[in-house]
Structure 1
């Protein structure tokens, strides 16, 4: 049953990626919406679930919040390390090599493709955990499984949208973005199927959600949203961001 339900997440993820591909001529709107979706997923979905599942305190601070901050700092550290490496190897790059790099080695605006692939890989890992969450919920009961599955399937549109956007934003070729999208779509099905072999402790799931939420928030606040408003600081971009948050709020409310 869990695997069958996870197929809904598979198709919803692909649909989200397809939408992201179709609106490339409105890139600033895509990024504004993606940033809003990511912010909504973190603040309204991941963090509340993490707080509930991993509620133990460490020196007066909930474990989920500590991991949330840790995920934010880890994403910042990875991005800075890649930026330093890029600067060290690109100080004497000629104009011809820069033009060649834009075709695959380096993203426009100096962005590093590996950052996009790393972020997309994190989204795949998150989707895998979504599938495990579906399977674990069905282990508790059919009612619980249905509720969790509804939440996962509906917000996997945002996952697919963000996975494709994150990969392509950093200058990766379309083939790589599509490959990451397919991997993200398959991940919940694999995760749900794997629960027939083990039972996932609730605290471990909550800890992961906290850490991943911090990393995702960093990408939204430090990368996606600034890029969305860089060339098109339009009111429509801001409205797309608000719409993304509102959509996740609606999804969470329906699934509650």
Structure 2
């Protein structure tokens, strides 16, 4: 049953990516919505789940919060190192030649950052599938509740996976490849629960770390880019709407 439900998540993920690809003429709205969805996922879903599952405090601080901060710093350091490497190979000169135009013309974006972020989204979707399978092992009612949350928010996962990959300069082929991998991941995760389950503390630790990295990408990259050329009220409303959508998903799941 869990694998069958995961096929719904597969289709919803593809639909989210297709939506992100189709509205490229409203790029600022896409990025504003993506930032809101990511913020909502982190603050309303990932971090609370991580704090419930990650175990005891470490040196007076909740383990999930330490990993959350660590994930944020890790994403920042990786992006800066990749940006420096690209600048050393002439990317900085190319940006200067274009008059520091910013926005879609930025050349300091490292494609590897987009691929790494999308890979983390794939891993997150894999964990969604595992959670789905484990919930159905507990009982049909629990499985239905988790299924609602997974299928609904996988639209956001697909949307964000395509947006993150393409935002950092990767071509459409790579973006669609990562989108397809993200769509398949819940099915693989659900099927894997027929063979094994992951320790709860390990899952919680991963969610905390991933949440921190995702928050960095949303706050430091996606939202500033959304408002760089189009600081419009509509962009802000898309961000608020993205958070509200995740809030609705969490409310329905509970």
TM-score range, shorter chain: over 0.9
The aligned counterpart of 1:28 is: 28
SS at the partner of 2:89? helix
Alignment match, 1:76: 76
Q: Where does structure 2 lack aligned partners over 5 or more consecutive residues?
A: 99-103
Q: Shift of the alpha carbon at 1:92?
A: 8.2
Matched, 1:137 2:135: yes
Q: Does 2:86 align with 1:109?
A: no
SS at structure 1 position matched to 2:106: helix
**1:3-82 → structure 2 map (5 Å cutoff):** 3-82=3-82
With over 3 angstroms needed to count, the CA separation of the structure-2 counterparts of 1:94 and 1:243, relative to structure 1, is closer
**Alignment correspondent of 2:101:** none
Deviation at 1:140, TM superposition (A): 2.1
How far apart, CA to CA, are the structure 2 residues paired with 1:132 and 1:142?
A: 15
Quick check: 1:108–1:171 contact (8 Å CA) kept in 2? no
Name stretches of at least 5 consecutive residues in structure 1 with no aligned partner.
100-106
Q: Counterparts of 1:91 and 1:61 in 2: how far apart (Å)? A: 41
1:126 aligns with 2:124: yes
Deviation at 1:237, TM superposition (A): 0.5
* Contact kept? 2:130, 2:197, Cα under 8 Å: no
CA contact (8 A) 2:41 2:246 kept: yes
> Which residue pairs with 1:104 in the alignment?
none
Q: Give CA-to-partner distance per residue, 1:193-224, whole Å, 9 cap, x none.
A: 01111122111111111111000000000000
CA distance in 1, matches of 2:224, 2:148: 32
Q: Is the 8 A contact 2:86 2:92 kept in 1?
A: no
Counterpart in 2 of 1:170? 168
CA RMSD of aligned residues (A): 1.6
Q: TM-score, normalised by structure 2?
A: 0.93
Secondary structure at the counterpart of residue 197 of structure 1: coil
Say if 1:108 and 1:170, in contact at 8 Å, map to a contact too. Answer: no
- Deviation string, structure 1 residues 131-172 (Cα, Å, up to 9, x no partner): 111112222222222211211111000000000011111111
Partner-residue secondary structure (3-state), 1:233: coil
CA–CA separation in structure 2 for the residues paired with 1:163 and 1:15: 12
Q: Give the whole-Å Cα distance in 2 for the aligned partners of 1:228 and 1:252.
A: 25
Task: Kindly state the Cα deviation for residue 94 of structure 1 after the two structures are TM-superposed.
Answer: 6.8
Partner of 2:238: 240
Change (3 A) 1:91 1:220: closer
Q: CA offsets, 1:162-193, max 9 Å, x none?
A: 00011111111111111111110000000110
Equivalenced residues, count: 247
Residue 127 (structure 1) shift: 0.5
The answer (yes or no) to whether the contact 2:28–2:230 under 8 Å persists in 1 is yes
Q: Within 2, Cα distance between the matches of 1:20 and 1:37?
A: 12
